Structures are given as C-alpha cells and as structure tokens.
Amino acid sequence: MFLSVSPSPHRVGHANVSAVMRNVALATLPGVATLFFFFGYGVLIQIVLCVLTAMLTEAFILKVRKRAITPILKDNSALLTGLLLGISIPPLAPWWIAVIGVAFAVIVAKQLYGGLGFNLFNPAMIGYVVLLISFPVAMTNWPVPFEISQYQLSFFDHLSAIFTGVTSGGLTVNELRQTVDGVTMATPLDSLKTDLTLGLTSSESQTKNVFGSFAGLGWEWVNIAFLAGGLWLLKLRVIRWHIPVAVIASLMFFSFIGYILNPDSHGTPLFHLLSGATMFGAFFIATDPVTAATSNKGRLLYGVIIGLLLYVIRNYGGFPDALAFAVLLANITVPVIDYYSKPTTYGHRK
Amino acid sequence: MNQFSELTWQGLWKNNPGLVQLLGLCPLLAVTTTLTNALGMSVATILVMVGSNITVSLVRQWIPREIRIPIFVMIIAGFVTCVQLLFNAYAYGLYQSLGIFLPLIVTNCIIIGRVEAFASKNAVIPSAYDGFIMGVGFSLVLLLLGAVREILGQGTLFDGADLLLGDWASILRIEFIEFEQSFLFIMLPPGAFVALGLILALKNSLNAKVEAAVVPVQIIEKPERARINKVS
C-alpha cells in the first residue's frame, strides 16, 4: 500500500483535463439526441464538421507554434469547442459557416491567447458571435421542428443542403424551413420578438404553431434534455452548482418581474427558461472552468450577471437570443469579480 | 547614414507611425474597409503632413513657445479644409465614403506629432521630406490593412476605385472570390483590430532580419562586467 507522507490534503481528486472535457462532451448527448430528433441529420453533420475542423485547426496551429501535437489534442478541449459550436449552429447552415467559426474560435480566441487555460473568452462563443454578426441571416435560419415542417428530409438531403445550398430535389434552404402551412417560421424566441414589434401581445403570439405546450415546440424538450445532461455533470462533480443555479435563478427572477409588470410584452419565466440556449448555456457554456469566475461567491455573481444580460438582451436587444453575448460580457467582468471575491484564508479575520 | 536616408529608415520601418508609434489608430481602423478608401485617406494624410510641416518650419521662428500647440492645430486645420474641399470637388464619391474621417484628420496625432517633434525644430527641406516619408510610412500600413480587409471581407480588390481616380479606374476592380454575403466581421472595427494585430506580429517577427539587413553592423565593445559590491 502506498503511504503518502505529504502535508494535507491527503485525498486528492484524480480528474484530469482530458477526462473532464470528455465527461462534458458525453453530457451533451441527451441534448444532441433531442436536437437530432426534432431537426434531423443536419445537427449531426454540423457537429461532425465542427469537431473535425477544430481538431485539424488545433493540430495545424500547434505545429506552427512548435508544440507537441498529440498530447495536446488528447486533452479533448478542441473537440469540446467544436462540439459546443456545432450544437449552436443552425442545422442547415452552409458548411463554410462551421469552418470559419471553428477556425476563428480555435486560432484567435484560444491559441493566440496562449492555448487552453490562457484564453480570456469562451472560444466557442467567440466563434459563434463572429458568425452571428458576420452572417446574421444564415445564423438565425433555424428550421422548424419536424412535426410542423412541410418537408421530411433524408440524410442526403441534409448533406446536400449544407454543402451545395440545395437538396437533391432542388429545394433551397429557405424553402426547407416552411411549415405545413407553407409559411417560413422563425424560432419561438425570434417569432415572439417579431410579433411584439408588430403590436401583438405575447399571449396572442404564443397561439402560433411554433409554440408548444409550455415553451417553444421542440425547444422545450431540447432544453429539458440539456438540463438532464447538466444534472449528470453536477452529480459527477465536473461542474459546481453555483453558476447554473445563479444563471437560472436570475433569469427566472428578472423575467418574472418583467412578466408581472407587463404580461403582454414579455414571455413567461417558464418560456424563457425552456427557450433558446438557456439550459445549454447555463450548464455547458457558462461553466467553462477557464473563463468563469473561480471562487464560489464569484461564481454566483458571474451567473447572476449572465442571467440578467440574457433577459435584458432577449427583451430589449437586437438579437432574439443572447447567450453568447451574455457569456462574453460576463467573461470581461471575471478578473474584477475574482479580485473582489477572494475567499479569506483559514484563520484570517476580516 | 545621411539625414535623408535616416529619415526614410525612421519613417518607413524603425519608427513607423502606424506600426511602431501606433498613432492615428482612428482612421487606421475606421476607413480601411477597402483599398480605395485607404488610398484616399493616404493621399489626404500625406498632403496635410507635407503642407503643415513646410508651413510650421517656415514660421517656426515667430511662434511663441507657450501657445505653439493651438497655432499648429490651426495650421493643420487649414490644410485639412483645403484637402476636404479638393476631395469634395474632384472625388465626390470618395468624399462621401470617407465621411467624417476626412475632417477628423485634424485630430490625427501623427501630424501634430511630426510638426511638434520635427518641423518646429528643423529647416524647410528636411521638414517637408519628414512629413512626406512619415505619411508614406503610415500610408503603407493603411494600404496593406485595406487590401487585406477588402480581400477577406468581400473578395475583391480596388472596389470603387472609380470614385477616386475617375471612370476609367473601374477596370482596376479585381474579383478574387464571389462571396454570397460579405464577411461583416472583417469589415467592422473588430476585424480591423485583429488584422492590425496580425500585421504588428508580422512586423515584429521580421524586425531583426530587416534591421540587420539595413543598419550597417556596428561593432560595440562589450563593457567589462562591473563589480557591484565591493570586496575589500
């Protein structure tokens, strides 16, 4: 038996970067499966494309930087960046969107800062924001869930739509987004936002068929699946409860206030919690150990900032969903939060 | 090295206003969306720099030291107004596309910097040359940034050259790749920051080689290592 004679702590965790990243990647599986169920093969094609690009770009830039390629690739961080961005990209977006976004995320947002552990901003979200401000049309073209979609697409239809812009039957991506009524519909968050500017109240808007029984059709289940994956991460103790709980609680609190004050122009708190990227962001994006705050108090504050920004930008900003912006803006505040939330050492009195 | 080749070396590489002094970032980042815009800004900046350097050098004996800065600014503003009126008359399209950044040349730190640091202390001919070569050094950065951003952002080169050079220049337009949508990130200021950062990195990585090639090797005798603490 090995007897450790070092000073305490004597019990140390044996988590390493590779295992942590692998567990986070595995925990996205329920969410990915649900996305696949509602939106088809495009989801998987984008993820594969993004992961491959991430690995290749990382290998390339490590070669340029004269670093060991295989050991660093094995830490799975490039894989995770690719995976998270692949989940965020609309399933029918053209292939070069994924390539540009992932390459920018890995090269500029991660490796130019010095690689894993040195990046100030979440690489996947930088890639997403670059894509969103550069190609706003392609990046907000989410198709409707299969239940109300006019066309049922095969794997090859998706492949051909992503790589050539039209399916084998000659349908463009915009036509593929039509519902059974022949109308192109946006995501629930997007259509709520548009309807409110058109003068509809939020309850009138929510009678449309993109809305499901309690939030957006399809999206509510996607969010619940990501919530399940996130809870599994909590159970494995890969992430701590502070950030997700703070994000969800503050989003719920602020959307509750908005809903109480003016129910006609706001979605319900439940709608906000189960729409767009809320759960995915709270458990998988905001908890990135490199870019999030590091003390427990700091984590709570960081989560509250994300929840508040999420609510403010969704309701008053120019974009329908705001997770990427909220996380990046909160990333900027992390050095200050960390400075003011240093835990006191044992035995110190304030 | 005589004075003029020293000035050239300083303006184009060693002390380049865009890459080393990092002055004039506002026009550098804002108007370099296309090569044509960058070219127009370059011409305007060089004209103003040469003009104000000559004028300040001519009257430098009579400027009271205490109020020199306001006087410099007024002289520069005069030249900027001239250039602005010229653009308005002969290149109206470019005048519109440069917009507020043309009158804002007044506030460009490179110009007041050269006037203060060089023209107010030197004779007319070296001052004119200094203004010219510093302007060229700045322009090279503007043009490089403009070309990179135009190619990456919209896949063309010399788009809208006819706005500056007259109708014949529309044949200069080269289309490398046809983009379905322009890459907005590169066209917006954040893209300019990233591109400028990469150019700075390139300059720094080439620096040692270029300096070795240009500056004649001087043999510097290494001083003997001095003993700091006295040993008795």
**pLDDT tens-digit map of A259-296:** 999 888 888 888 888 888 899 999 999 999 899 999 99
* Cross-chain CB nearest to B181 (options A108, A130, A135): A135
CA dihedral B144, B145, B146, B147 (to 10 degrees): 50
Q: What is the per-residue pLDDT across A91-126, written as a single tens digit (0 to 9) for each? A: 988 999 999 999 999 999 999 998 888 999 999 999
Q: Is the pLDDT of residue B220 over 70?
A: no
Instruction: Assess A138–B contact: CB distance below 8 Å, yes or no.
Output: yes
Considering only residues A114 and A212, tell me which one the structure prediction assigns the higher pLDDT.
A114
Q: Tell me how long chain A is.
A: 350
The reported pLDDT for the residue numbered B219 is 52
Q: Is the pLDDT of residue B133 over 60?
A: yes
Give the lowest-confidence range in A106-115, A176-185, A261-270, B164-173: A176-185
C-alpha A287/C-alpha A305 separation (Å) is 13
Q: Please state the ipTM of this predicted complex.
A: 0.79
Element (H, E) at B174: strand B174-175
Backbone phi and psi for residue B175, each to the nearest 5 degrees, phi listed first: -110, 115
Q: Is the pLDDT of residue B218 over 70?
A: no
Residue A152 confidence class, pLDDT cut points 50, 70, 90: confident
In chain B, which residues have their Cβ closer than 8 Å to the Cβ of A108? 194
Looking at residue B214, its amino acid is V
In chain A, which residues have their Cβ closer than 8 Å to the Cβ of B178? none
DSSP-assigned letter for residue B107: G
Give the lowest-confidence range in A180-189, A264-273, A296-305, B214-223: B214-223
The reported pLDDT for the residue numbered B226 is 61
Q: How far is B166 from chain A (nearest CA, A)?
A: 31
Please compute the mean of the pLDDT values over residues A200-208 and round it to a whole number: 77
Q: How far is A137 from chain B (nearest CA, A)?
A: 9
Interface residue of B152, B179, B181, B205 to substitute, partner A, most A CBs within 10 Å? B181
Q: Are B185 and A130 inside 8 Å of each other by CB? A: yes
Coil, strand or helix at B33: coil
The reported pLDDT for the residue numbered A313 is 92
Q: Are B185 and A137 inside 8 Å of each other by CB? A: no
DSSP-assigned letter for residue B175: E
In chain B, which residues have their Cβ closer than 8 Å to the Cβ of A136? 184
Q: Residue B148 CA to chain centroid, in angstroms?
A: 16
Instruction: Assess A135–B contact: CB distance below 8 Å, yes or no.
Output: yes
Q: Are A133 and B185 inside 8 Å of each other by CB? A: yes
Number of inter-chain CB pairs under 8 A, A vs B: 18
Q: Are A134 and B183 inside 8 Å of each other by CB? A: yes
Q: Is the pLDDT of residue B216 over 70?
A: no
CA atoms in the 13 A half-sphere facing the CB of B14 = 11
Q: Is the pLDDT of residue B178 over 90?
A: no
Please compute the mean of the pLDDT values over residues A299-306 and round it to a whole number: 95
Q: Are B181 and A133 inside 8 Å of each other by CB? A: no
Residue A297 confidence class, pLDDT cut points 50, 70, 90: very high
**Domain ranges for chain A:** 14-185, 186-341
Instruction: Assess B184–A contact: CB distance below 8 Å, yes or no.
Output: yes
Please compute the mean of the pLDDT values over residues B39-52 and round it to a whole number: 94
The reported pLDDT for the residue numbered B49 is 95
Please compute the mean of the pLDDT values over residues B24-42 and round it to a whole number: 88
Q: Are A134 and B194 inside 8 Å of each other by CB? A: no
The reported pLDDT for the residue numbered A33 is 95
Residue A302 confidence class, pLDDT cut points 50, 70, 90: very high
Instruction: Assess A64–B contact: CB distance below 8 Å, yes or no.
Output: no
Please compute the mean of the pLDDT values over residues A194-202 and round it to a whole number: 79
List the alpha helices (DSSP H) in B59-188: 68-90, 92-98, 109-114, 124-154, 162-165, 184-187
Residue of A nearest to B185 (CA): A134
The reported pLDDT for the residue numbered A160 is 84
In chain A, which residues have their Cβ closer than 8 Å to the Cβ of B194? 108
Average pLDDT of chain A is 87
Please compute the mean of the pLDDT values over residues A212-241 and round it to a whole number: 89
The reported pLDDT for the residue numbered A182 is 65
Q: Is the pLDDT of residue A337 over 80?
A: yes
The reported pLDDT for the residue numbered B126 is 93
The percent of residues above 90 in pLDDT, for chain A, comes to 49
Please compute the mean of the pLDDT values over residues A163-174 and round it to a whole number: 77
Q: Are B184 and A100 inside 8 Å of each other by CB? A: no
Q: Are B102 and B42 in contact (CB under 8 A)?
A: no
In chain B, which residues have their Cβ closer than 8 Å to the Cβ of A141? none
Residue of A nearest to B190 (CA): A130
DSSP-assigned letter for residue A105: I
Considering only residues A239 and A348, tell me which one the structure prediction assigns the higher pLDDT.
A239
Q: What six digits make up the tokens of B101?
A: 């950044």
